């Protein structure tokens, strides 16, 4: 449940870097996405054609503050996005490091506090740091979006232990893996860990066939969710025979 909204499809899809508007439209359909992220900068640059794709998709729009490096810039961008898209949802990014695009935790918490006080429903792009997560929850966020790896890197889940600890530390908070996913198997792994959704863009948009890749990711996310809900077997250090030895014939 994301701010009172229940999603049947737990794959959120970004809309940047696709080879053409037609491919973007087909990829959204192939993914069965219910939520798509939209950059305000792209909306301003491409205007009506892009707006038509977003509207025709039937998806819930999650505007983002991509490219913002300060609290003021992020808050202003969020305010503009709310007016343009008519939604209180905002994916909050406040970048603190130019090379890794790691979020600035101090500016992120400050911006989240301001936006939550203004009635926004904030999806903060953060790291797996538990203290930062707690501060964001205290600021009013009801969702956390930890990275799997740096944006666009395709490295997958670099800190499995940290992400598992985050899931355990925030059992009742919706958690979305955002950034770094490069393959369907990585998205499935995130869902198997108990995360509530994954958000990805580059792995689909830059694939040789974005439409088929979108479909592949959608199936992987569903499989991971089903596996987690069904109950994954625990890992063991030693072998355990699946066929019992009792009752077998003794050959002499």
Q: What is the pLDDT of residue 99?
A: 84
In a domain, 3, yes or no: no
For 191, the domain range is: 11-230
Q: What is the pLDDT of residue 58?
A: 86
pLDDT exceeds cutoff 90 at 161: yes
In a domain, 177, yes or no: yes
What's the number of domains the chain is made of? 1
CA distance 127 to 205: 24
CA distance 140 to 48: 34
Q: What is the pLDDT of residue 126?
A: 96
End-to-end CA distance of the chain: 62
The per-residue DSSP string of 155-188 comes to ---S-HHHHHHHHHH-TTS-BEEES---SHHHHH
Q: What is the pLDDT of residue 241?
A: 75
Question: pTM of the predicted model, to two decimals?
Answer: 0.89
More confident residue, 245 or 185: 185
Q: What is the pLDDT of residue 100?
A: 85
- The sign one gets for the Cα dihedral 62, 68, 69, 75 is negative
Query: What values do phi and psi take at 62, rounded to 5?
Result: -115, 90
Mean pLDDT for the chain overall = 91
Average pLDDT over residues 127-131: 96
The per-residue pLDDT for range 164-195, each reduced to its tens digit, is: 999 999 999 999 999 999 999 999 999 999 99
Which position has the token pair 């893996």?
177
Q: What is the pLDDT of residue 43?
A: 52
Q: Which residues are catalytic?
A: 91
More confident residue, 165 or 244: 165
The per-residue pLDDT for range 18-46, each reduced to its tens digit, is: 999 899 999 999 999 999 999 876 554 55
Which position has the token pair 């009172």?
4
Task: Return the CATH number at 205.
Answer: 3.20.20.70
Confidence grade of residue 249 (pLDDT, cut at 50, 70, 90): low
Q: What is the pLDDT of residue 46?
A: 56
In a domain, 66, yes or no: yes
In a domain, 243, yes or no: no
pLDDT exceeds cutoff 90 at 208: yes
Confidence grade of residue 105 (pLDDT, cut at 50, 70, 90): very high
pLDDT over 70, % of the chain:
93
In a domain, 236, yes or no: no
What burial class does residue 220 get, using C-beta atoms within 10 Å of its C-beta: 0-12 exposed, 13-18 middle, 19+ buried? buried
Binding positions for 1-deoxy-D-xylulose 5-phosphate: 152, 179-180, 201-202
In a domain, 237, yes or no: no
In a domain, 115, yes or no: yes
Q: What is the pLDDT of residue 251?
A: 63
Cα 144 to Cα 147, 170, 198, distances in angstroms: 10, 9, 11
Binding positions: 152, 179-180, 201-202
Q: What is the pLDDT of residue 185?
A: 96
In a domain, 249, yes or no: no
Confidence grade of residue 248 (pLDDT, cut at 50, 70, 90): low
């Amino acid at each position: 449940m994301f701010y009172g909204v229940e999603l049947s499809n737990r794959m959120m899809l970004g809309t940047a870097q696709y080879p053409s508007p037609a491919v973007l439209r087909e990829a959204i359909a192939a993914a069965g996405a219910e939520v798509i992220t939209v950059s305000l900068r792209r909306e301003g640059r491409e205007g009506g054609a892009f707006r038509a794709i977003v509207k025709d998709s039937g998806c819930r729009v999650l505007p983002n503050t991509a490219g913002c490096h300060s609290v003021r810039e992020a808050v202003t961008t969020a305010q503009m996005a709310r007016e343009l898209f008519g939604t209180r949802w905002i994916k909050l990014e406040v970048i603190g490091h130019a090379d890794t695009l790691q979020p600035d935790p101090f500016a992120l918490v400050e911006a989240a506090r301001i936006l939550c006080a203004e009635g926004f429903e904030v999806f903060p792009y953060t790291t797996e740091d538990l203290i930062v997560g707690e501060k964001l929850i205290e600021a009013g966020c009801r969702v956390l979006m930890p990275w799997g790896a740096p944006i666009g890197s395709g490295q997958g889940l670099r800190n499995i232990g940290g992400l598992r600890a985050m899931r355990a530390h925030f059992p009742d908070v919706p958690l979305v893996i955002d950034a770094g996913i490069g393959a369907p198997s990585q998205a499935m792994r995130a869902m198997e860990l108990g995360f509530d959704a994954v958000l990805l863009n580059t792995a689909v948009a830059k694939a040789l066939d974005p439409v088929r890749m979108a479909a592949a990711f959608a199936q992987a996310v569903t499989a991971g969710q089903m596996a987690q809900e069904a109950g994954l077997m625990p890992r063991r250090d030693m072998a355990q025979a699946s066929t019992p030895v009792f009752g077998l014939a003794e050959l002499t």
